[in-house]
Amino acid sequence: MTEHPDTPRTMKSRLLAAAAAGAIIMVGLGAFALLPHPGAEPAGPAPAVTQVADRQATPPRMVESGAPFSFADLVERVAPAVVTVTVEEKPQTPQMTDQDVPAPFRDFFHQFGMPQMQVPRHAVAMGSGFIIDKSGYIVTNNHVVTDATKITIKLKDGRQYTARLIGTDPATDIALLKIDADKPLPTVEFANDRNVRVGDWVIAVGNPFGLSNTVTAGIVSSIGRNVGNGAYTDYLQIDAPINRGNSGGPTFDIEGKVIGMNTMIYSPSGGSVGIGFAIPSSTIHDVVAQLKAHGKVTRGWLGVEIQDLTPEMASSLGNKNMKGAIVAKVVPDSPASKAGFQQGDIVVAVNGQPVSDSRDLTRRVATLPTNANAGFSIVRDGKAQMLSARIALRTSQDVASAGSATPGAGNNATGEAMGLGLSAITPDLRHTYNLDNNVNGVVITKVNPDSDAADKGVQPGDVVMSVGNQAVRSPADIQRRIAQAKSEGRDSVLVLLNSQEGERFVALKVGKS
């Protein structure tokens, strides 16, 4: 399982996601702890950061092979800025059950009723954090401080302070704290995680199981990991051992700069198995800037539902090397709708910056300032176009839900194509498959289990709304689109389906003439 390297708060661990034989566990609070809408306002200036020590950074000593001989000098510099975060939570008062009553007395209590005793349980959890500003700003994980009634910061030299919560961003699991000290505090500085390569050395410092200032080392084992924890973070995967209580602690590069924040582990047992995940420093830097300036994070909203443009989809559109995100739906009266976006548009760049996939587009839009225009490079019907959209503020309700209808009622013809039984939508079929009145197209009445469509999850009752970005109203329309694709030498077509899960694109094989 994947856990936050925090210890379970009062013997509870937070299960974030199950995966195969393991699970993702937050590591923020140690065993003695527990391990996102917005429209972005222009972020204020990035928080000031300085080196932990005034002396010049000393690189790790090397042996002839080129491998680091010791990380001791690096750790000596950065460790003073790594802190222990102790969180007090509201006392829990669970109702006593018969399992809390000694066996000889259970029959008595069953006869006369359970005693109404409640035993308050004071919850204390521990995690890690790091100081990014001499005046006392500290970064940690949001899940470390969630539900906190009191937050105490302990430095390596033993000093303790009560911290104020400046702001949190649950969508990225980042929190910003502030303590007031009588003199400047030791700090660390951020590195650019975009320069990180798989195989680079990393050093993790934190508070696993309440063992403060524990240091572990390893390498970056992967970058750009999507662990299903929100659309705004691609994690660094590291093999430096991290455990419960490490959540919120820094991941350092070989120069002693922060490239990430330890947040989760993948583990079948709850302990480290060498698969940990850290939030990249660029994400932390951007979020902290907004938290420091405004106490909250806002994100931009365009108003489209999107999918990854797979190589097969790109090939079906005649350009197998094209990358980007395909628009599955445009929300009415949204910035995208007003800018002229259409279903089937492929977004390939934002403000001149290439878009690799749907997650990349989501993150880029989220960082755009609200009420400002942004330029989108799209491909529509094989032709490049530019659209300008005025970005709105994303809210928690900004989930596209409005449907779009294709025109016409079609006819009553039936047919087959691509291993599918097809029929124009009739009142009887609309009733049989429980289709909304605003859904139009060609309904699928059967699916050959040996077909490409079956392999891609197409089911009876799904409605084909368009083929090759051309609306269809009858099986004959679909057959004409397939014939056209074959004549152009394509072996697949891009099909827009309406199903129980909503609208989605899928590339279906048609074979060549």
Token digits of residue 455: 């392999």
pTM, whole model, 2 decimals?
Answer: 0.62
List all residues 6 or more positions away from 248 whose beta carbon is below 8 Å from its beta carbon. 6, 28, 35, 85, 127, 128, 129, 130, 139, 140, 141, 144, 175, 206, 261, 262, 263
Which CATH superfamily does the domain covering 2-81+186-294 fall into? Answer: Trypsin-like serine proteases (2.40.10.10)
pLDDT computed for residue 359 by the predictor? 84
Residues 82/51, Cβ–Cβ less than 8 Å: no
Q: In what order do the strands lie in the sheet with 174-178?
A: 160-162, 148-154, 82-92, 121-131, 137-141, 174-178, 164-169
Single out the residue of 161, 378, 128 nearest to residue 242, CA to CA: 128
| Sequence spans of domains, the chain | 2-81+186-294, 300-393, 414-509
Annotated active-site residue 315? The verdict is: no
> Residues near 154 by Cβ (< 8 Å), separated by ≥ 6?
83, 84, 86, 160, 212
Question: 2-81+186-294 with 300-393: one CATH topology?
Answer: no
Residue 509 bridge partners (DSSP): 492
Of the candidates 365, 364, 163, 127, the residue with the CA atom closest to the CA atom of residue 261: 127
φ, ψ of residue 177 in degrees (nearest 5): -115, 165
Helix/strand/coil for 359: helix
Q: What is the pLDDT of residue 194?
A: 87
pLDDT along the chain (513 residues), means of 10: 44 36 54 33 41 47 61 93 90 56 53 52 81 95 89 93 93 93 93 92 91 91 77 86 89 94 77 85 92 91 88 80 89 92 93 89 89 93 92 66 30 70 81 81 88 87 86 84 77 85 83 52
Tokens of 87: 């969180």
Residue in 89, 205, 206 with CA at minimum distance from that of residue 147: 89
Burial 379-393 (b: 16+ CB within 10 A, else e): bbeeeeeebebebbb
Report the pLDDT value the prediction gives residue 25, as an integer from 0 to 100.
61
Whose CA is closest to 236, among 195, 290, 187? 195
* CATH number given to 300-393: 2.30.42.10
Q: What is the largest CA-CA distance in the chain?
A: 85
Write down the catalytic residue from 128, 143, 286, 398: 143
CB contact set of 32 (below 8 Å; sequence gap of 6+): 7, 124, 125, 126, 209, 210, 245
Q: HSE, CB side, 13 Å, CA atoms: give it for residue 414.
A: 7
Superfamily assignment of 414-509 in CATH? PDZ domain (2.30.42.10)
DSSP string, 15-73: EEEEETTEEEEE-SBBTTB----B-BPPP-PPPP---SSSSPP-PPPB-TTSSBS--HH
Task: Tell me the torsion sign for CA atoms 286, 290, 295, 296.
Answer: negative
Chain Cα centroid distance, residue 81: 28
| SS3 assignment, position 453 | helix
Q: How far apart are CA 2 and CA 107, in angstroms?
A: 43
Which residue of the set 13, 247, 272, 334 is catalytic?
247
Residues present in the chain in total: 513
247 is catalytic: yes
Whole-number Cα distances in Å, 276 to 2, 207, 250, 312: 8, 15, 12, 32
Distance, in Å, from the CA atom of 394 to the CA atom of 335, rounded to the nearest integer, reads 11
DSSP assignment string, 267-321? ESSSS--S-EEEEEHHHHHHHHHHHHHHSS---EE--EEEEE--HHHHHHTT-TT
- How deeply is 57 buried, as exposed, middle or buried, from its count of CB atoms within 10 A (0-12, 13-18, 19+)? middle
Secondary structure letter of residue 322 according to DSSP = -
207, 319, 341, 345, 376 from 379: Cα distances, Å:
50, 11, 11, 6, 10
Q: Which of 173, 239, 345, 452 is labelled catalytic?
A: 173
